[in-house]
Each structure stands twice: as structure tokens, then as C-alpha cells.
Amino acid sequence: MKTASPFLEPDDGGTRVEVSLDGAPLLLSEGANLAAALLAAGVEVFRHTKVTGAPRAPFCMMGACYDCLVEIDGVVRQACMTEVSPGLRINRPHEAEAHDDPA
């Protein structure tokens, strides 16, 4: 799940807060863009498509493509439109039950 990230994150001196990803604790910068923070933490796959189960990750970072959908506290949301706050429970639905319709 977590590998050496292809992305470098600066140390802006911000507060690190604990969130959970698929039940495992993860420290991210408070107030950071969630999609950016997850990428920097080495998260490569955010979801799997409904049609073929293909892996996807953030593509546009501006709320248009819906490839960064994750489940946050039980609601499917765009990670790139969410800011990191303490205690977020982030889940990536397994591909077999992946549902990418947020509504």
C-alpha cells in the first residue's frame, strides 16, 4: 500500500495530524489538499473502476475528473476537493464492491 513516494513533499512546518486509510493510521499535514497529501505519502491507487476494475489515481486535481474518489467517513468524495483534518476515516472500497457514483 505505502511505498517510497514518487512525490516529494516540502516541510512547511505544518502540524501533522492522524487520519486512517483503510483502517491503518497515517500522518498527514493539517489543512493540506487530501489528494496531494496521499500521493506524497506514497498512496498510488485511490480507487478501481466499476467497469473493468482498473486502478486509478488523481488525474486533474481540480475536481473535474472524479478519478480520486475515496470514501471519507462513509461518504464517497473527491480527495482533491477535501482538506486534511484530524480523524478523517478514508477508505478505498475494494474493487469488487467499488461504487464510483457519489450520489
Partner 1 sequence: MIRRDLVIIGAGPAGMAAAARAAELGLSVSILDEQLRAGGQIYRDVDRAAALRGDILGKDYKHGATLTDGLRRADIDHLPGAVVWAIEEGFRISYSQDGQGAQIAAARVLLATGALERPMPLPGWTLPGVMTAGAGQILLKQSGVLARNAVLVGSGPLLYLIAAQMIRAGTPPAAMIETQGRGDIISAMRHLGGALRGWPYLLKGMKMLAEIRRARVPRFTGAQGIAIEGETRAEAVTLTSAGHSRRIACDTVFLHHGVVPNTQAARSLGVGHEWDHLQNCFVPALDEWGQSDVAGVFIAGDGAGIGGAKAAEYAGGLAALKIAEELGRLDPAACMEQAAPLRAALARERAPRAFLDAAYPPCVEALAPADNTIVCRCEEITAGDIRRYASLGCLGPNQAKAFGRAGMGPCQGRFCGLTVTALLAKANGRTPDETGHFRIRPPLKPVTLGELAAMDSQMQDAAE
User: Interface with partner 1 by CB under 8 A: which residues?
Assistant: 6-10, 12, 32-33, 36-37, 39-40, 44-46, 49, 51-52, 54-67, 69, 75, 81, 83, 100-103
Place of cell 473535474: 64
Helix (H, G, I), strand (E, B) or coil at 98: coil
Q: Which is nearer to partner 1, 25 or 52 (CB)?
A: 52
Q: Which is nearer to partner 1, 24 or 62 (CB)?
A: 62
Which one, of 38, 29, 34, 46, lies nearest residue 79 by Cα? 34
CB of 47 to partner 1, least distance (A): 10
First to last CA, the chain: 27
